[in-house]
Structure 1
């Protein structure tokens, strides 16, 4: 199936079993040169799908999501003589996609980018919407750009090769969509092999509707940050031993607790959200010193001169953006 994203640069999200087998043919219309950027985990598995492309294998993991890796990608593009008419492909999970897209957005002020997500998290979330970036001085995604892909190719066959921890990682973001939309049943389709394409499509559609309304994250798109401000702090304090999606789910728990304390949510509604997280075996928030946690939260790029913008769930299907000071958040943690 194909979903069209009507952003400033419209593009299609192709969701199909075996889609990677057709990608090289699709790329023939995208310039004479293609650079496939992937990591040391994914390139050995799927790199052979791109016989006529230049290939760059980067080190896997969040700790390598930095400007040093971006410089490596840019040097490769320049050394191989890539021009604005050529294409960068990001083949892998969210980390690879964020970096490949960012490099494409700044090389010669922008060359074509095609996303080929291979993880559940990347398929349902990070590959769609045009956010790119790297971590900087301890802050998650602090340096980046808005840059829409020319196409997104989701081959759901890739999900069969994922370890259980990566499925759980993706489910953390999926739970976010369920809380935002109020559609609890959408999650059950992920567990069924014959319904997984529909599941990915539901998540992409949920994000599409928000991105089309607010592409540059100035208003309603901030709702997609549900769980992220607290989640990024959890990632940092765990030294990235806790994966992004799981940290987001844990962040939703913290946001729910804060929502009750701020009288945004009732205890009854909060229990329903907690129950949803429990149903998909999302861990409880890890205990950190409140002072360390609040300091990590204040590294978030969503902070303002007055405080930080938090997405707090009122109930399943309804969330609010609330600006809170450091002292207010500390009191409710």
Structure 2
């Protein structure tokens, strides 16, 4: 039987085990610049088979939260190179999660104080995070404007450029963030996309931007070092689709020829229930559609996993299991899982923003 601790591959990336550190926003990159403490933080967690970084903006427009990192400038590439060097020196593998938040932003975070962008001018009933005078607070998102069709090729180019920057920065690959109510998910789902052009309406149109991004990224750096995160039914960030099963069945078939390294699937509500009664979804059918179309990417599952659930998922055909919040307080989580050791409790007051406390000071096992 496959174990969490068995080695495997995700595309060309060799993994020491099947435990993945999920992306975790920590708001410790002032000016969108990666920092030395970030190198320490990720290197401490290098025993994961794969680290997926915190979500990282592909452009200034793509930012939605204070003090999150970016990957659009030479300075950011140099900053991330220190992070990847530290992780590789500790024996780890690391990919960067490429992010455009779309409407989940605030005027204060946008270039020139402009409105955030979205498929349609529909405000999300959710919060974002701002920091003033060193104090962080969650505030309502700003009213977005609808993207012009002529702007969309530029956003695809931003993803392509960020993917190239990722390789220059020493990452083993990238994960495109297509989940949790951010820009690509906004285009996918009817609750945020009310466009009447060829990027709205029928599911084939709503999937167009995601697929253009994936084709551009894989053409730039290779499918075998490209992952994609999807969340078919999460309500995170005020997102909903009227009929997700056929939508994601179509997406699965279109992704199959791209030779992706992995697909990262959030089951149920992000950080919440694994099953949502009012939003049923057949994940097995989704995976079967992908495999039937010839897709061979490693299948990564995510949401509320502990060791027992993770081993059960592997027995049922998953290849990788992502763990999120447990990695915050347990830099040596793979060892703790292997030894059934107790887990440190995370200090929620330090999750977002701050310094070393609650970031790089959690103890590993002796």
TM-score, shorter chain, exceeding 0.5: no
Q: Which has the higher contact order (CA 8 A, sep 6+)?
A: 2
TM-score by length of 2: 0.29
Structure that is richer in helix per residue: 1
